[in-house]
Amino acid sequence: MIEGRLHHVSIIVPDDERVHELAALLGLKLGRRQFVAQYEADCIFTTGSSGVIEFIIAKSGKLSKFNKGMGGLHHIAIAVPDLEVTKQQLAEQGIPLLETKPVDAGPIYINFLAPAYTRGVIVEYVQEVAAQDAAVDGARPLAAEPQAALTTGSDGGRLSERDIFKNARSLRSEGRAEEAALSLREALRRNWLSPEGIEKAGRHIAGFLDESSGKPLDVLVLGQCTTHWVGNCLTAVGWGCGAAVRTVDGQYDNVIQELMNAAASGRRYEAVVLVPWSERLLGGEPGEGAARAAEELAFWQRAWQIVTTQMSSRLIQVGYDWVSPGAMGHHLSARRQGPVQIVRQMNESLQAALPPSAFFVDLDQASGVMGRDQFYDARRYAWTKQPFSEAGAVRLAQHLWSGIRAMINGPKKVLVLDLDNTLWGGVVGETGPLGIEVGDGASGESFKAFQQYAKALSQRGVLLAVSSKNNPADAREPFEKNPALPLKLSDFAAFEANWEPKSAAIARMAKTLQLGLDSFVFFDDNPAEREHVRQMLPEVEVVDVPEEPAQYIRALEAGQWFEALDLTAEDAERTAQYRAEAERRGLQESFASMDDYLRSLDMRGAVREVDEADLPRVVQLLGKTNQFNLTTRRHSLEEVRALLARPRSIGLTVRIADRFADYGLVAVILGVEQEGETAPTLRVDTWLMSCRVIARTVEEFCLNALLHAARERGFERVVGHYLPTKKNQLVADLYDRLGFGRTGEVADNGVGYALDDIAQVSATTFVARQG
C-alpha cells in the first residue's frame, strides 16, 4: 500500500467559461494556472484549505476527447513524498506507472498509475517540488523529457491509429527510429491497429529493418497473384510477435523465374512463401479441369525443387481457393468438376505431393473462417491483381507467420490459464467447488467446452498450467470434487494458486519447466492481469480474451500459437516428462536443504566397464557432448577400441536412475596409464556427462567410480586436463571442485590437474552404487 494524502481532484472542462461558471457556483477561488505540454492542456488549481480541485482545459490531444469531448470528473491525485520511492513500491507489487519518468507540471511532478490496475479509475501521484528539494538524500534528478514513445495516451486510453502513426513518424524524424518501431510493436501486440494500419505498420517496419544493422529473417514471397500487401502484413504480424521479418516479393505470376534468379543470386532466404491463384487453374474450358490441375501440380513441384535443393530455404506453400462457385451454382460446383471441386481436388494433390518438411496454408480454411466476402476484394483484384481485402491479407499473413514460427521456433509450448471466470464461471472461493458454473446452463457449457479444448491441446502435447489468485486449497478443490470438470489436476504441468503477481508465477513456471518465457501463452479473463503480464513479461504472448465465454475458444485459436508441422508420439508424452521434472523441481524448493533434497531423490548409479555392446553409444556421446566434456576428444570407434586394448586402461560407463526417471547411460570416462611417472599414474583421456544430471553429485559419484577402478589396477595417482572450448565452460573448474591440484598449463590453452595419493580419497555423493 502506498501512503499519501489526497492532493487534488481533477475535472476536465471544455473551456474557461465553464471553469468560471463552476467556480462561482461552488464558491471556489481560482489560483495557479499551468500549461502541461505533454498533455496539451491548461491546468487551473483552486486555492483554499478545504481541498484542491484542478480544472483541465484541453483544446487538443487525448484529454480533449475525454468522455466524448464533454469532460467530467477525470482523476484523483495522491500526494507522495518521493515519486521514485512510490514507483519502487508499486513495482514490488508488479504494478507499473504509465510514464517511465516523472512528468514536469510546474511546481509538481506527476505520474499516473497504469489504469488497468484500477479498472479504469485514473489515479495520479504527485510530488511537490518543494518536497523533493527537502529530500534528505539531496536533489534527486527528475528528468522531464517528453514521453513521445508511449503508445498509450496520457489519460491511460489508447491513441487513435492516426496518432500512433503520427507519433511513430515524429520519433523517426528525430532519429529515434528504434523507439518508433517499438511503439508500433506495442500497438500490434495489443491489437490496436485496423487491417489497413497493420499493413502500414509493415511498411514502416520494413523501412526500419532496411536501415537498422540487425539481421532480419528474410522471406521471399512469390505468387500467381500480386503479393505486395501480404508481404508487408507478414512483416507487421511477425514484428508484433517480437520477430524481425523482412519480405521480398517478386513480379506477380513469375514464380519460377523469380525463384531461379533468387537461387542464382546466392542470397539466403529463411523461408519461401508460394501463393497460387486460381485464375490459371480454373481458366480452362469445361472438362479441362483435371489436365489443368496436373499442369499446376507439375509447376509447383518444379518450384519446390528449386526452393528445397538450390536455395535450402524452408517452404511455405499456400493452397488454392475459389471465390465464387461459378455458373453451376453451389450444389453442382462441388460435384460436377465446378470450381469448388477442382480447387478441393487440387489442394488434396498439392498436400499429398508436398515435401514433408513444408508447411501448408490451407487458403480454403483461412478464407472460410473469415468468410470469403470479407477475405477477398474483387475491386483490388481488378486494380492490381491482388485478390485479398486488407483484412484478408492480414489473415493470410497470420497463417504464414504461424507456419514460419512453427518451422523456426516450433509451436508455443505452454498455455497458462486462469481459473475463476476463465475455466469456470464464478469465484470458487465464494461459491465452493460445486457452486461454480461449468457443465450446465448456457455459460456453463461454454466453460466446459473451453476446458475440453484445453484438454485436447494437452493431449496433443501442449503443456497446461494454472496461474490463479486464489487460496491454494480452494483452487484445487473443483478438480478433485466437481465431476463436471473435464480437466483434472493431472492435466496440468504446473499449478500456481497464490496471491503473488502472475508475472512472478509465470517466471517460476518457466524455471521449473525449463522453458523460455517465449514458449508461454497466457489466457486470463481479467484485463488488468493481462496488462500486467504484457508489461512485466513482454516475451509471453497474451491472448485478448473476450468477455463472452462462448468466444474463448475462437479467441485462443485466432493466434494460431500451437500450429505444428506434424504431430509425433513424443509431443503427447512430453507432458508426462515435464510433469516429472516439475515435480522434482517442486520437491527441490520445498526441501530445507539441498542435501535433504538430493537424498530424497533416491538416486542409484550403475558403473560398468565399456564393452562391445556399449561401444556405439559411447562413440555417439563422444561425438555430440559439448558442455560437460573436459577434453572434447571425438574418438572414433576404432580409436576407443584401441585405447581400451592398452594395458591397465580404463573405460567406464555410468547409468543413473532416481525415483522419477531412469536416465540411462549418462557418463563416460576413459583413462590410460601415463608413462614415465615415478608413482603409477592414470591419465584421464575423456570425461563427459549428460547435463540432465548435473549438480546432483553425479560428478562425485563418477570420480569415486574412477578412483575405485584406478586403485583396482594399482594406480596411486590420477592426472587430467581441462581443454577449453566455446561450449565447455561448465566444467572449467570441475577438477578444482573435486579436490585436484593444478599442475600448470598444457597444450591447447588447457590446464593440467593431479590428484595425489588416491588411496584415501572419496567424494561425498548422494548416488548409491548398484552393481
Residues that bind other proteins (CB under 8 A): 162, 165-166, 169-170, 173, 196, 199-200, 203-204, 226, 228-229, 379-380, 382-384, 386, 390
Q: Which of 408, 373, 82 is nearest to 245 (CA)?
A: 408
User: In 3-state terms, what secondary structure has residue 441?
Assistant: coil
Residue placing its CB nearer to other proteins in the complex, 65 or 574: 65
> 636: which 3 cell numbers?
572414433
Residue placing its CB nearer to other proteins in the complex, 169 or 335: 169
CA–CA separation, 320 and 328 (whole Å): 19
> 701: which 3 cell numbers?
559419484
Residue placing its CB nearer to other proteins in the complex, 199 or 418: 199
Give the angle subtended at the CA of 321 by the CAs of 320 and 323, to the nearest 5°: 150
The dihedral sign for the CA sequence 588, 522, 411, 248: negative
Please say whether the beta carbons of 711 and 759 come within 8 A.
yes
CA–CA separation, 90 and 96 (whole Å): 7
Beta carbon of residue 234, minimum distance to other proteins (angstroms, whole number): 16
Residue placing its CB nearer to other proteins in the complex, 35 or 383: 383
CA–CA separation, 429 and 559 (whole Å): 31
Residue placing its CB nearer to other proteins in the complex, 381 or 735: 381
Residue placing its CB nearer to other proteins in the complex, 166 or 481: 166
CA–CA separation, 46 and 53 (whole Å): 5
Residue placing its CB nearer to other proteins in the complex, 387 or 486: 387
Contacts of 141 (CB under 8 A, 6+ apart): none
Beta carbon of residue 149, minimum distance to other proteins (angstroms, whole number): 17
Q: What is the CA radius of gyration of the chain?
A: 33
Beta carbon of residue 395, minimum distance to other proteins (angstroms, whole number): 17
Q: Which of 689, 670, 672, 697 is nearest to 624 (CA)?
A: 689
- HEC-encoded secondary structure of 427-484: CHHHHCCCCCECCCCHHHHHHHHHHHHHHHHHHCCCEEEEEEECCHHHHHHHHHHCCC
Beta carbon of residue 184, minimum distance to other proteins (angstroms, whole number): 11
Distances (CA, A) of 318 to 47, 74, 404: 68, 50, 12
Residue placing its CB nearer to other proteins in the complex, 61 or 478: 61
Contacts of 98 (CB under 8 A, 6+ apart): 111, 112, 113, 114, 115, 150, 152, 154, 156
Residue placing its CB nearer to other proteins in the complex, 161 or 288: 161
Beta carbon of residue 335, minimum distance to other proteins (angstroms, whole number): 34
Beta carbon of residue 163, minimum distance to other proteins (angstroms, whole number): 11
CA–CA separation, 228 and 252 (whole Å): 9
User: In 3-state terms, what secondary structure has residue 572?
Assistant: helix
Contacts of 544 (CB under 8 A, 6+ apart): 190, 191, 530, 555
> 45: which 3 cell numbers?
488549481
CA–CA separation, 64 and 74 (whole Å): 11
Residue placing its CB nearer to other proteins in the complex, 208 or 495: 208
Alpha carbon dihedral 478, 480, 482, 484, in 10-degree steps, equals: 100
Beta carbon of residue 172, minimum distance to other proteins (angstroms, whole number): 8
Which DSSP symbol is given to 138? -
Residue placing its CB nearer to other proteins in the complex, 209 or 751: 209
Beta carbon of residue 222, minimum distance to other proteins (angstroms, whole number): 16
User: Any bridge partners for residue 673, and if so which?
Assistant: 682
Beta carbon of residue 223, minimum distance to other proteins (angstroms, whole number): 14
Beta carbon of residue 361, minimum distance to other proteins (angstroms, whole number): 23
One-character DSSP codes across 741-757: EEEEEETTTEEEEEE--
Residue placing its CB nearer to other proteins in the complex, 203 or 344: 203
One-character DSSP codes across 501-521: -HHHHHHHHHHHHT--GGGEE
Alpha carbon dihedral 398, 401, 402, 406, in 10-degree steps, equals: 180
Pairing of strands 662-674, 650-657: antiparallel
* Lookup result for grid cell 512463401: 273
Q: Residue 697: how many CA atoms within 13 Å on its side-chain side? A: 21
Beta carbon of residue 151, minimum distance to other proteins (angstroms, whole number): 17
Beta carbon of residue 508, minimum distance to other proteins (angstroms, whole number): 43
Beta carbon of residue 570, minimum distance to other proteins (angstroms, whole number): 45
Distances (CA, A) of 590 to 268, 586, 697: 50, 6, 19
Which DSSP symbol is given to 154? T
CA–CA separation, 165 and 172 (whole Å): 10
Residue placing its CB nearer to other proteins in the complex, 16 or 196: 196
Beta carbon of residue 388, minimum distance to other proteins (angstroms, whole number): 12
Beta carbon of residue 169, minimum distance to other proteins (angstroms, whole number): 6
Q: Which of 511, 539, 252, 568 is nearest to 381 (CA)?
A: 252
The dihedral sign for the CA sequence 683, 686, 689, 691: positive
Beta carbon of residue 188, minimum distance to other proteins (angstroms, whole number): 16
Beta carbon of residue 375, minimum distance to other proteins (angstroms, whole number): 16
Residue placing its CB nearer to other proteins in the complex, 203 or 633: 203
CA–CA separation, 210 and 181 (whole Å): 12
Residue placing its CB nearer to other proteins in the complex, 177 or 606: 177
Beta carbon of residue 379, minimum distance to other proteins (angstroms, whole number): 7
Residue placing its CB nearer to other proteins in the complex, 233 or 601: 233
Residue placing its CB nearer to other proteins in the complex, 129 or 323: 323
CA–CA separation, 206 and 211 (whole Å): 9
Residue placing its CB nearer to other proteins in the complex, 172 or 189: 172
Q: Which of 47, 46, 71 is nearest to 57 (CA)?
A: 71
